[in-house]
Amino acid sequence: MVKNIVTVVLMVCFIGSSVIAQEEITKDQWQRLMTELTAKRTDLKNKLDALVKEVNDLKQQEAQRLEALKQCQDALAALEVGYVGPMNALLDKIDARLNELSSLSNQDLYARRKELDTVQTWIDTARKNPLSATKKYAARINDQQNRLDALKKSLEQFIASGQAGQTYKVGTWAKDRDCLWNIAKKPKIYDNPFLWPKIWQGNRDQIKNPDIIHPGQVLKIPPKAELTKEEKAALRRYWENKKATPANP
Amino acid sequence: MRKALGVMVTGVAMALVFFIGCSNKPSEEQMQQLNALRAEVSSLEKEIAARESEKAALLRSIADKEQQITQCNEDLQALKSRIQ
């Protein structure tokens, strides 16, 4: 029994030591590794020294470029003085007007179409400013010209569609029986009286109460289409007000 | 029993001798030397990587500045010719 235990312990010791021994390196391997790593360290140190020198040279080059750029920018700024303020004001004005015109419906844009010519005049003026020769301003002016061209094209298409500029001069009740319902009903207008809120909403600047229009008023006639969400909402409010305010006896 | 213990002690001693003395292994000090060298090489590699990165950033910055200088000079000449 004891002999068996001793044998097992001995075997365990022997196998264990053999396994551990396999995970370590021999002196020869150690020597080889030391030689390799020492050579690698020397290479890396040389490489690092060269890199440090290169980086320092590049830093100097960067500083020189920075100085040259500053000199050029100072010279440019000195020449630009006197032109920048008016140019920026003009370009801001053009941007603001283009933003406004871009937000309009085709009908409203048609009504204000002369403003496109005004904006074109402003852009031409901007092009005469010497600053327009510089890249930054040239790019901004070109962008504005592109936006204006897009508006012009959109307007041309609207005009070509035959929907632009239709107006209607309100006649008298006695002779023409003109009210928004009857105007919308006319074959030349919508041929559909239920579209009357479209005329009301298209002329909010001159029609506060859709029950009241005056002879001689010139109404813009928006293109024929189904009532929009806003027009339906306006119609709903109209009927709610009607219910809330009974007609005077 | 005593004999068995003697045999066991001898066995363990033999294993230790095989493990420590007769296995042609580098000493503790030599292993420390090797590990120190490895750490130094690793540190150098990291430093080189950092410098390479710094160099690349500097090259980009210089190229960008050169482009800006070229554009600025073009603007300057164009503006001068328009003002004159």
Per-residue pLDDT of chain B (84 residues; tens, 9 = 90+): 566 666 666 666 565 555 555 558 889 999 999 999 999 999 999 999 999 999 999 999 999 999 999 999 999 999 999 988
With CB atoms and an 8 Å threshold, state whether B18 touches A21.
yes
Q: Is A24 left (phi over 0), alpha (psi -120 to 50) or beta?
A: beta
> What DSSP element (H or E) covers A218?
strand A218-220
Task: Give the per-residue pLDDT at A83.
Answer: 94
Paired with A218 in beta bridges are A169
Residue A19 — pLDDT band, cuts 50, 70, 90? very low
Residues A90-119 pLDDT 10s:
999 999 999 999 999 887 888 889 999 999
Which of B19, B59, B82 has its CB closest to that of A133? B82
For this complex, say whether ipTM is above 0.90.
no
Residues A171-190 pLDDT 10s:
988 898 999 999 999 988 88
Higher-confidence position of A233 and A249 = A233
Return the CA Rg of chain A: 43
With CB atoms and an 8 Å threshold, state whether A79 touches B83.
yes
For residue A134, the chain B residues in CB contact (below 8 A) are 75, 78-79
Task: Give the per-residue pLDDT at A8.
Answer: 59
Residues A21-71 pLDDT 10s:
444 789 999 999 999 999 999 999 999 999 999 999 999 999 999 999 999
Higher-confidence position of A125 and A163 = A125
| Cβ-contact A80, A88 below 8 angstroms | no
Task: Give the per-residue pLDDT at B14.
Answer: 60
Q: Count of A–B CB contacts within 8 Å? A: 141
Return the residue of A nearest to B62 by Cα.
A62
- Report the distance separating Cα B60 and Cα A60, nearest Å: 14
Residues A190-239 pLDDT 10s:
899 999 999 999 899 999 899 999 999 999 888 778 899 999 999 999 99
For residue A22, the chain B residues in CB contact (below 8 A) are none
- Report the distance separating Cα A102 and Cα A226, nearest Å: 23
Contacts of A163 (CB under 8 A, 6+ apart): A106, A107, A223, A224
Does A50 lie at the interface with B, CB-CB under 8 angstroms?
no
